[in-house]
Amino acid sequence: MKSVTSLKFIPSSPTILTGKVQSKLGPLPNGGGTQIPTEKDDIHTEENRPTLSFITPTTGSTVSGTFPVNVATGGTRPISRVEFSVNGTNFAILTNAPWNTQLNADTLPTGSNIITATVVNDVGLSRTEQITVNVTTQTLGSSGGSTAQTAFVTGISAQDGRRPLVGTPTPIRLTWSNPSASDLASVNIYISTSADSNDLGSLIKQVSAPPGSSGVTEIDVSTLILKRQYWFTLKTVSNHGVENPSGRKGGPAQVQP
């Protein structure tokens, strides 16, 4: 009968055993062998996510001029802020109710525009909603008007100026009548050496224009050419800063020696 030799394992160096076990695949999700958490996050939950809805405008509506943008919020947690953007650009951040702001359609391209609102509560949970509105151009003088397609100055008169070799130059004097459009703010004046209505020329000044008033201004002649005829185009500008794409031309006037 063969004898059996008993083998004994003797480690080459001391083996230290700890209470933390590492996974061969890397740290475990709970911290690499640490005690599994027993607490539950009952704050950052869908139940605590805030609610958000647009009151005005409604999606698909048509807007012009300055219009209100109002939303309603709700939820189980206090609201920290509401952010508004149009076509990806922020235009308002509110930190207190009511969540009402406004937007100027004159600054938007004609056609479809996307308004987005995002509400954030005190624990950072948020919700985003968006609507689409259609922007139309209005004529100056209509409610919330922007462009001046039907409002023009009338009765343009241009009196010759003088630039003598000796003495004080006399400016060209322009007079006209402003339209009665309620949102008229100013008149842009262009100068040209052509009577062609399509030749706008160069912008030389902007003059305040109260609706329905008589307009008057003077044109410096120091840089103008003697005996050359000059015409002047006047374009109305709304109180939103939008210029009439068309204008009225008057003249000519000369600079006499």
- For the chain, the domains span 46-135, 154-256
The predicted pLDDT at position 198 comes to 85
pTM score, two decimals? 0.46
Tokens of 177: 């009548």
Is 110 within 8 Å of 128 (Cβ atoms)? no
- One fold for 46-135 and 154-256: yes
What is the average pLDDT across 123-151? 70
Whether domain 154-256 has CATH 3.30.70.890: the reply is no
Tokens of 194: 């052509």
Query: Cα separation of 125 and 46, whole Å?
Result: 9
The predicted pLDDT at position 28 comes to 52
Query: Cα separation of 54 and 52, whole Å?
Result: 7
What is the average pLDDT across 23-51? 69
The predicted pLDDT at position 241 comes to 73
Is 246 exposed, middle or buried, given 0-12, 13-18 or 19+ CB atoms closer than 10 A?
A: middle
Task: Summarize pLDDT for 169-217 with one digit per residue, the tens.
Answer: 999 999 999 988 878 888 999 999 999 988 888 989 999 998 889 999 9
The predicted pLDDT at position 166 comes to 83
* Positive or negative: CA dihedral 18, 19, 23, 28: negative
Query: Cα separation of 196 and 138, whole Å?
Result: 27
237 Cβ partners below 8 Å, 6+ apart? 148, 184, 185, 186, 187, 188, 206, 209, 243, 244
Tokens of 153: 């100055």
Query: Cα separation of 120 and 176, whole Å?
Result: 54
Using CA atoms, how far residue 44 sits from 40, 53, 69, 152, in Å, is 10, 21, 29, 60
The predicted pLDDT at position 15 comes to 47
Residue 144: pLDDT above 50? Answer: no
Q: Give the pLDDT band of residue 24 (cuts 50, 70, 90).
A: very low
Q: Which tops the pLDDT comparison, 76 or 139?
A: 76
What is the average pLDDT across 138-166? 70
Nearest to 187 by CA among 130, 120, 104, 250: 250
The predicted pLDDT at position 41 comes to 85
Residue 157: pLDDT above 70? Answer: yes
The predicted pLDDT at position 36 comes to 62
Place of tokens 């704050």: 43
The predicted pLDDT at position 145 comes to 44
The predicted pLDDT at position 124 comes to 94
Give the phi and the psi of residue 200 in degrees, each rounded to 5. -75, -40
CA-based radius of gyration for the chain = 37
Range scoring the smallest mean pLDDT among 112-121, 183-192, 234-243: 234-243
Task: Summarize pLDDT for 2-14 with one digit per residue, the tens.
Answer: 444 444 544 554 5
Average pLDDT score over the chain: 82
The predicted pLDDT at position 29 comes to 53
Q: What is the DSSP letter of 105?
A: G
Tokens of 246: 């068309």
The predicted pLDDT at position 31 comes to 52
Q: What is the CATH number of domain 46-135?
A: 2.60.40.10
